[in-house]
Structure 1
Amino acid sequence: MAMQAAEGTRDFLPDEAAFWLHFKETAFSVFARYGYVPIETPIFEQTDLFVRGIGEATDVVSKEMFTAVSGENLKRLIDGGTIKSKSRLSLRPEGTAGVVRAVAQHDLVPQGGAPAKLMYAGPMFRAERPQKGRQRQFNQVGVECLGAEEPTIDAEAIIMLMRFYETIGIPRESMRLLINSMGCEKCRPAYRELVRSYMNEHADELCETCMTRAEINPLRAFDCKNEGCAHVMESAPKISDHLCPDCREHYEAVKTYLDAAGVAYEEDYKLVRGLDYYTRTVFEVQVDNGMGSQNAIGGGGRYDKLVEEVGGRPTPGLGFALGYERCALALQAAGVEFPRAQRCDLFVACVDDSVHAEAFSLVQAFRDAGQSADMDHQKRSLKSQFKLADKLNASMVAILGPDELSEGKVKVRNMTSHAERLVDLAAVKAILAKFSSEGAVLTPEQMREVLTEVE
């Protein structure tokens, strides 16, 4: 049987791989305008980092993490032994915990220092049931801001996220921005008890999972997808009615900044996000068209206690992550097409074998001058070479034959207009050599000028 990709994973073929690269570069370009810089963290971390940071009661930790075990440790477990805590490793299910660990470990926010604004992109892993918009290996782009607790940071991140979506091509009218406040350590404990009491009063109407959550983190019941549970939780106490004065002031300030920026939003008191580390502001962006049941394309919030949870000094934080695969579905629903990965500025076609050496030299000259160039390497017919040029999306084709070469000429065809002309081969090579020697890059426009104006 032919081998296939593991369930819940998929290959990015060239066109989509090129778009994923464009997606990341666009995100980083937008985020850089707000002062964010890149960071790369390991794909796996100590399991305890996710247990302490994300929360043991979350589905992510309790059900969905992939644990990585070395061959030696696997043998030790099979033999009835145990492995050390530092050797218990898991593939990252999300990006925040690893970035926060790196900030604490390397002291990227020294006492009294400026906030660390960090952005990242890469694969995450969760053992979920695969479905449309949900993979076991999926890709996220995210940001984390550590060291600032002002509401301007919250509003700035939300605005930045919406600006990115619009830049990448998701129509603003197709998106819904939901916001909420989850309170802080002053007001949330009492609110959690209110929710727990409410859930106990309606225990016979809630699923077993929700009642388990009631003992550990009752707020997670707001995120239950069971229709019966959702109906019950509609009448649960609202966090907005139980915020302390500081949290209420912070939340109102965030909304004021969003209003001033013209960013439309909906307040959703049931929005709790999926991870336990959030405090105060939380937000989520949803798209209904083309998404199925998984309609969230990104979100995040504030996590002012997370750095302490992973062993760092008290440091406020805020971040968000957006899922590439779900964004791609939203873009497709909006009619956005992925660009073709294959792009060739110049294809050199050979009339016969006698000109291969000259064709190879010309291709290299264009590459050294910064252009994408290619030629046939399988001795195809001239007709087949033009088909290959079309497949490579070549903008120009240089046709080399014995007659042209004996005159020091090369025939050039514009593949859009199909116009042809003979140009001087030595003059073309001289221009390319000048660019190459100066370390300059020939632009596509300059290339077209070279191939159409040189006599």
Structure 2
Amino acid sequence: MHHGRGSGIYAGVKINGVKGMNDVLPADVARWHEMESVARDVFALYGYREVRTPAVEHAALFARGVGEATDIVNKEMYVFEDKGEELLALRPEGTAGTVRAFIEHGAFVEGPQKWFYMGPMFRRERPQKGRYRQFHQIGCEAFGVAEPYLDAEQIALLADYFARLGVTAELKLNSVGDAQCRPAYLADLKAYLVSNQGALCADCKDRIERNPLRVLDCKVESCQPVLEKAPRLLERLCEPCRTHFDQVKAGLDALGVAYRVEPRLVRGLDYYVRTAYEFTSDALGSQSAVAGGGRYDRLVETLGGPPTPGIGFALGEERLSMILEKVGRAAPERRPAVFFVSADATGALEALRLAAALRRAGIACELDPRGGKMKAQFKQAERVGARWAVVLGGNEVATGQAKLKDLQTREETPIALSDLAARVAG
């Protein structure tokens, strides 16, 4: 049944956004523009180029690329069957899709590649401040280079990025070994955790079998005494891993990037090797990660590509935006240079024409198409943050002369309308 406007059964019923999804309103988007434009500028200096991959992928990509034993795949992923009965998923992170594109389009034949991405990700987590079910990440992935100086360079890129945004973040660094030295360590760690499991929380007990490295990540206070005394992988590294880690540190020292070695910083998936790092900030209270990365030399192969070393990171835009607000960094919002106040119908038409001419010259300007009382138009000019106002009526149009009012100092100066663009430019 067709219902006319306003007469339908849903008329007037408010539909709110989906739980855990978040609107970023215009006042906040300016800050997001800055985070993203600074990222593009800094990443370009290091040779990273942007890739855009779909928000929807085969669910199997994440089962293999993120890990079937992870909470992300087990509990948090949005999975659905499409009409062709394929199992699809909204991407919960950006690396797997980027690697899939790298393999599918044969980019590995062109030698080392540096790519970056930015966009929405989806996880059905419990919503809380700064953590949403649709969230946004900026990430870099570098393929084809196993040497440690690439690790140092990528970490320096992130340090540069945070410095440009005025964010103070501490770098934590570790090595998670490789297939040579990690298995023996994992056996020892598992034995230690089993013998102390009475003092561990339920999550830790669950992870002992599935993913013992992730137990070291636990933040529950009662688990800390056991975890502090756990065997350390950093002390069990094989010679090639030890050398690689030493060279990463030497590279960071040469680049003037300060770091703290954190032996409990881990990556739970098999394809992660050697370098693991994260940047943390205490701007929002307790120390929390704003970016995390690591080397994944076996991921391309895991997803069906040729053996290709890689290293990457991701940072969360929501959290970074909250930090920028907390440290008092003003969002760089573009405001109109000129607001045209129309005194009559002739002035309104001239305002329309002049505004178009200024915009073609790259000058932002505004007017109120409703016209109305000049006092209300001046209020609107101040509300939108215009620097100057120009009153236009039949007299100004006839003479080609008007007054330019500085809305900060309240001073008025005569101006020829033909000189307006040159006067307010910049």
TM bin (shorter chain): over 0.9
- Deviation (angstroms), 1:352: 1.8
The answer to whether residue 91 in structure 2 is matched with residue 92 in structure 1 is yes
The answer to whether residue 37 in structure 2 is matched with residue 21 in structure 1 is no
Question: 1:453 maps to which residue?
Answer: none
Distance in 2 of aligned mates of 1:238 and 1:186: 16
- Sequence identity, in percent? 43
Distance in 1 of aligned mates of 2:380 and 2:196: 68
Three-state SS of the structure 1 residue aligned to 2:119 is: strand
Cα deviations across residues 240-288 of structure 1 (Å, max 9, x unaligned)? 1111100000000001111122211111111014655421100011111
Three-state SS of the structure 1 residue aligned to 2:203 is: helix
User: Does the aligned pair in 2 maintain the 1:283–1:301 contact within 8 Å?
Assistant: yes
Three-state SS of the structure 2 residue aligned to 1:413 is: strand
Question: 2:120 maps to which residue?
Answer: 123
- Deviation (angstroms), 1:357: 1.4
Distance in 2 of aligned mates of 1:68 and 1:22: 35
- Deviation (angstroms), 1:157: 0.8
Cα deviations across residues 275-324 of structure 1 (Å, max 9, x unaligned)? 5542110001111132457x111110100000011100000000001111
Three-state SS of the structure 2 residue aligned to 1:109 is: helix
Following TM superposition, where does structure 1 have runs of at least 4 consecutive aligned residues deviating by more than 3 angstroms? 273-277
> Which aligned pairs between 1:249-328 and structure 2 lie closer than 5 A?
249-273=243-267, 277-292=271-286, 295-328=288-321
Cα deviations across residues 200-227 of structure 1 (Å, max 9, x unaligned)? 1112222333233222221111112322
- Deviation (angstroms), 1:337: 2.8
Question: 2:138 maps to which residue?
Answer: 141
User: Does the aligned pair in 1 maintain the 2:32–2:321 contact within 8 Å?
Assistant: no
Cα deviations across residues 328-387 of structure 1 (Å, max 9, x unaligned)? 22222212232346x112211111223221111111111122221221111221111111
User: Does the aligned pair in 2 maintain the 1:192–1:217 contact within 8 Å?
Assistant: no
Distance in 2 of aligned mates of 1:230 and 1:67: 35
- Deviation (angstroms), 1:18: 2.1
> Which aligned pairs between 1:3-402 and structure 2 lie closer than 5 A?
3-70=15-82, 72=83, 83=85, 87-110=86-109, 113-170=110-167, 172=168, 175-273=169-267, 277-292=271-286, 295-340=288-333, 343-402=335-394
Number of residue-to-residue matches in the alignment: 414
Alpha-carbon RMSD across the aligned residues, in angstroms, is 1.9
User: Does the aligned pair in 1 maintain the 2:345–2:393 contact within 8 Å?
Assistant: no
Q: Which amino acid aligns with 1:307?
A: V
TM-score normalized by the length of structure 1:
0.87
Q: Which amino acid aligns with 1:90?
A: A
Q: Which amino acid aligns with 1:448?
A: V
Distance in 2 of aligned mates of 1:40 and 1:392: 34
User: Does the aligned pair in 1 maintain the 2:336–2:387 contact within 8 Å?
Assistant: yes
Q: Which range moves more in the overlay, 192-201 or 26-35?
A: 192-201
Question: 1:442 maps to which residue?
Answer: none
Cα deviations across residues 75-111 of structure 1 (Å, max 9, x unaligned)? xxxxxxxx4xxx111111111111011101111121x
Distance in 2 of aligned mates of 1:62 and 1:428: 65
Q: 1:132 to 1:276 in 2, by over 3 A?
A: farther
Distance in 1 of aligned mates of 2:27 and 2:384: 12
Cα deviations across residues 134-155 of structure 1 (Å, max 9, x unaligned)? 2111111110001101101100
Distance in 2 of aligned mates of 1:379 and 1:274: 63
Cα deviations across residues 410-448 of structure 1 (Å, max 9, x unaligned)? 2222223333222223x348xx6xxxxxxxxxxxxx442
Structure 1 unaligned segments of length 5 or more: list them. 74-82, 433-445, 451-455
Q: Which range moves more in the overlay, 141-150 or 284-293?
A: 284-293
Q: Which amino acid aligns with 1:303?
A: Y
Distance in 2 of aligned mates of 1:449 and 1:122: 34
Three-state SS of the structure 2 residue aligned to 1:370 is: coil
Q: Which amino acid aligns with 1:134?
A: R
Distance in 1 of aligned mates of 2:112 and 2:37: 23
Q: Which range moves more in the overlay, 55-64 or 274-283?
A: 274-283
Distance in 1 of aligned mates of 2:290 and 2:419: 49
